[in-house]
Structure 1
Amino acid sequence: MSDSRSSNFGAGPSALPEPVLQEAVRGLLNFNGTGMGIAEISHRSKEFTAFLAEVERQIRTQLDVPPTHSILFTQGGGSAQFSAVVLNLLARHRLLHPDLTDDERAMDYVITGSWSKKAAEEARRLGGGKVNVAVDARPHSKDGRSFDNIPAHDAYTFSPDPALIYYCENETVDGVEFSNDEASPASFPFHLLPKDTLLPLVGDHSSSFMSRPIPHLADHAVIYAGAQKNIGPAGLTILIVRKDCIVDVDAATKLGAVPVPLTMAYKTLADSSSVYNTPPVLSIYISGLVLLRSQELGGVKYYEELNKRKADKLYSVIKAGEEKGLLRAKVKEGSRSLMNVVFDVLGEGAEARFLSGAEALGIKGIKGHRSVGGIRVSLYNAVTDEQTDGLVAYMNTFLAQ
C-alpha cells in the first residue's frame, strides 16, 4: 500500500490538515501527558474538560461570539438539528405565546437547496406549527426546478412573528451559497426580517463553519454545524445558541408543546456543559487541534482569503471549459459556493474519463452527489493552494486533449 496521501476534495467527511493528523496520532497514544489516549480517557476528567473549555474559547474568539450566546457540543449531525431546532424553538414560542393554536404558529423556511428542503420536510413531519416557505429557489432557476441560485430579496415573504426562521448558508449538494457582501442580491435579506423582537433565526452553517466570518451572528437564535467539513471528523455537532432559546422544555410541554427528548433539549446540554452523556471525545479533540492551528494561521479571515483564491482558480478553468463547450457550471454567477464547486463534463463518456484521469493522479472525492450527478469539488479549509493547483492543471490538460 502506498504511503503517499491523495488530494481529498470530498464533500464530507473531508480533508484534515496533515500536521493535525500527526498530532492526533500522538494524542491517541498519550493525551496531554496523562499516559492514556484521548479515545480512552474519561470525558469527565479534568484534562478533557479543560480541553473542551479551550475548544469553546477558540470558537468564541475566532468567530467573535458574544456572551449572549452559549456554545454547545453534541452528536447527531445536521440531520438531528433539523428536529432539535423545531422542538426547542416551538417550546420557546409556546412559552411566549401559550394561547396560539398550531395553525397560528408559523415556522419560516428559506429553501435554497437539498438540505434546507430536507429541514422543511422534517418540520412538517413533526408538526406543532405550520411551515411557511419564505422563498423557494427552484422557480427562480434556469429550468424552473433546480437549485441553481439564491433568489433576489424581493422574492422573500417572512411571517410577522414566527417560531423560527431557517436557512442553510451553504448548500453542499447543490453548490449554492449566500454572499457575505450585503450589497449583493445573493446575500441573506437580514433587513427584511421582523423588527423589534429577538429574532428566532436559525442558520445551518455545517459546510462553511470556520471558513469565513458569520454575518449578523449576534442576531441568530441558533447556528449549528457538523464538524466533518472544515474542522474535524464526523460525529460532532457544534451549536451556538442564544441564551433566551435555552428554555424549560418540560414547562412548555405542560402548555401543550411536543415533548423534547432529553438529549435534544438545549437546556440539558447547557446545564451539563455538554457532558450530560459521553460526547464524541475524539472528534472534539481533533476539532480542537484544527482550531488551534486556525488561530496560528490567522483564523476565519485567513481562510476566507484562501478559500476565495482557491475557488477563483477553479471557476476560471470551468469558464474556459464552457467557452470550449466541454464544461458547464451548474450554479448562476453570484450564487456560487466557495466551498462546493459543481459542474458537468459534457459529451458522451466524458465524465467517466474525467473521473478516471483524476483518480489516476490521486485526485479523489470529486464525483457529484448521487441525487444530482456531475462533478463536485469541495474546497474546505484543509485543501491547500497546491492541491487546488494540481486539480486545475489536470483540468487544463483534460480540456486540451
Structure 2
Amino acid sequence: MASAYNRVINFGAGPSALPVSVLEEAAQGLLNFRGTGMGVAEISHRSKEFQTFLDEFEASIRTQLAVPPTHRILFTQGGGTAQFSAVVLNLLARYRLLHPERGADETVVDYVVTGSWSKKAAQEAARLGGARVHIAADAREHGGKAFDHIPAHGAYRFSQDPALVYYCENETVDGVEFSHDPASPASFPYHLLPQDTLVPLVADYSSSFMCRPIPRLADHAVIYAGAQKNIGPAGLTILIVREDCIVDVDAAARLGAAPVPLIMSYKTLADSGSLYNTPCVLPIYISGLVIARMEANGGMPHYEEMNKRKAERVYKALDEGEKAGVFRRKVQKGSGSWMNVVFEVLGEGAEKRFLEGAEKLGMKGLKGHRCAGCTCFIQIYMLIHGSHRAQIRWRLVALILL
C-alpha cells in the first residue's frame, strides 16, 4: 500500500515516519472523527468523543509500559526543550516545599552529560538559576572531547540530596544510549543514587519512547518524551510524573522558589486532565492511533524484539563496512543506540556517493544532524513501526558501495 502513495523509506530522526495504515485512518478522522460529522482538528477538545480518545490513549501507554498508579500520565506541548525548563522549575518548587530554609546556594541539581541534548539541558538549568548545577558525570572527561560513549559506573559522583538528577536515555545527535542490561557498564547506575529516599530522577526518553520497556520506571520522578521522534507528529510531549512531584508551585513561590508559568506547572496539567488550554489535538490523535496499533500488534515484547533485530542488522552492516575501510563508527561498542546509528563514510566524495546511491533506492533522511560538527556524519533512525525491509535495503546499499 505504501508504494501506491509513492512513499520513500524515511530515516529522518524527527519528525519521524509514520505507518501508512495510521495515516490513512488519520485522514478519515480529519474528515469525520468517530462519527461526529466533524474532523478531529475541528472538534472541541472538551467533547466527550475527544475525552474518550484521550483516556484510551493514556490507558494504552499505562498498560504497555506498566506505569504504576504512583505516576500520572500528562500531555503537553513545547517538546523536550520546554521540559529542560519545566523539570527544573517544578522540581525546585518541590525541593523548596521540602526544605524551605535552604536557598539557591544550598540547593543542587545533578546532570549526567552524555551528548548534545543533556548538555543543553544542563545549560538551561544553569541559565534559570535557583540552584547550583553539578555535573555528576561527563562523557567527554573519560575518553576525549567527543560524546562517543556512556561513562562507566566509576565516573559518577551524585550529590547527597539533589533537587533533581537528570539523564538523557538516548542521545539522538550523538548516537549513544544507556544499556538496558543492568550488568553492562553502560547501564544507568541506579545503585549509586542516594538510597532510602524518593530520588527525583528525571529521564529524557524523547528518542526512544515506546521502543522497549523503560527499566525501573517506578524509580523515576519524571520521564518525558517529545512524540515526534518516535510515535507521532511534532507538537505533543508526553510526561510520566510521580505524584510527589506534582506540587503547589504557588505555595513554593511564596517560600522563595521561582514562579512557574501555569502552563508549565505539572499540577496545572494534572488537575485539568491535560486540558487546561487547547491541547495539540491532531498530534494527540495520530500518536494515539500509533500507540493503539502497537498494542494490537503485541505491545512492548513484540517491539523490543523487533527493534533489537533491526539494530543488529544495521550494526552488522556497519562492522562489514569498517572491515573494508569505508565506514567508521562514531560511538564506542557497548554504548551504541538501538534507535539512531551514527558513522562516517570514509574517502574523498564517499559520503556524497553514499547519499546519492541511497536516494536512488528510495531512502532519504540519512544525513546526520547539523549540530554533529562533522560534514560526513550520517544518522539512521530505526522507527518502532518501521519494517525490516528498510534495514535490509540499507544493508544492500552499504554492500554495493563497498
Pairwise same-fold verdict (TM > 0.5)? yes
Cα deviation, residue 148, structure 1: 0.4
**Match of residue 359 from structure 1:** 359
**Match of residue 191 from structure 1:** 191
**Match of residue 383 from structure 2:** 380
Q: Are the aligned partners of 1:314 and 1:392 in contact in 2 as well (CA < 8 Å)?
A: yes
**Match of residue 182 from structure 1:** 182
Cα deviation, residue 239, structure 1: 0.2
Cα deviation, residue 375, structure 1: 0.6
Secondary structure of the equivalent of 2:167? strand
Q: Within 1, Cα distance between the matches of 2:344 and 2:14? A: 20
Q: Percent identity?
A: 68
**Match of residue 292 from structure 2:** 292
**Match of residue 255 from structure 1:** 255
> Superposition pairs for residues 89-238 of structure 1, below 5 Å?
89-141=91-143, 144-238=144-238
Residue deviations 1:164-183 (CA, integer Å, cap 9, x gap): 00000000000000000000
Q: Within 2, Cα distance between the matches of 1:3 and 1:297? A: 23
* 1:11 is aligned to 2:8: no
> Superposition pairs for residues 37-116 of structure 1, below 5 Å?
37-116=39-118
**Match of residue 370 from structure 1:** 370
Task: Give the AA of the match of 1:99.
Answer: E
Cα deviation, residue 62, structure 1: 0.3
Secondary structure of the equivalent of 1:228? helix
Cα deviation, residue 106, structure 1: 0.6
* 1:30 is aligned to 2:26: no
Q: Within 2, Cα distance between the matches of 1:118 and 1:392? A: 33
Q: Are the aligned partners of 1:167 and 1:204 in contact in 2 as well (CA < 8 Å)?
A: yes
Q: Are the aligned partners of 1:8 and 1:383 in contact in 2 as well (CA < 8 Å)?
A: no
Cα deviation, residue 199, structure 1: 1.0
Secondary structure of the equivalent of 1:19? helix
> Superposition pairs for residues 296-375 of structure 1, below 5 Å?
296-372=296-372, 373=374, 374-375=377-378
Structure 1 runs (4+) deviating above 4 angstroms are none
Q: Are the aligned partners of 2:111 and 2:134 in contact in 1 as well (CA < 8 Å)?
A: yes
**Match of residue 398 from structure 2:** 395
**Match of residue 21 from structure 1:** 23
Task: Give the AA of the match of 2:181.
Answer: D
Tell me how many residue pairs correspond in the alignment: 397
Q: Within 2, Cα distance between the matches of 1:180 and 1:38? A: 38
Q: Within 1, Cα distance between the matches of 2:218 and 2:129? A: 28
* 1:240 is aligned to 2:243: no
Q: Within 1, Cα distance between the matches of 2:395 and 2:297? A: 25
Task: Give the AA of the match of 1:32.
Answer: R
Residue deviations 1:262-311 (CA, integer Å, cap 9, x gap): 10000000000000000010011011110111001111221111111111
Q: Are the aligned partners of 2:45 and 2:51 in contact in 1 as well (CA < 8 Å)?
A: yes
Task: Give the AA of the match of 1:105.
Answer: T
Residue deviations 1:142-185 (CA, integer Å, cap 9, x gap): xx100000010010000001000000000000000000000000
Q: Within 1, Cα distance between the matches of 2:208 and 2:154? A: 25
Task: Give the AA of the match of 2:386.
Answer: V
Q: Are the aligned partners of 2:16 and 2:231 in contact in 1 as well (CA < 8 Å)?
A: no
Task: Give the AA of the match of 2:315.
Answer: Y
Q: Using the TM superposition, name which of 332-341 and 356-365 deviates more.
A: 356-365
Q: Within 2, Cα distance between the matches of 1:146 and 1:257? A: 36
Secondary structure of the equivalent of 1:166? strand
Q: Within 2, Cα distance between the matches of 1:351 and 1:261? A: 46
Normalised by the size of structure 1, how large is the TM-score? Answer: 0.98
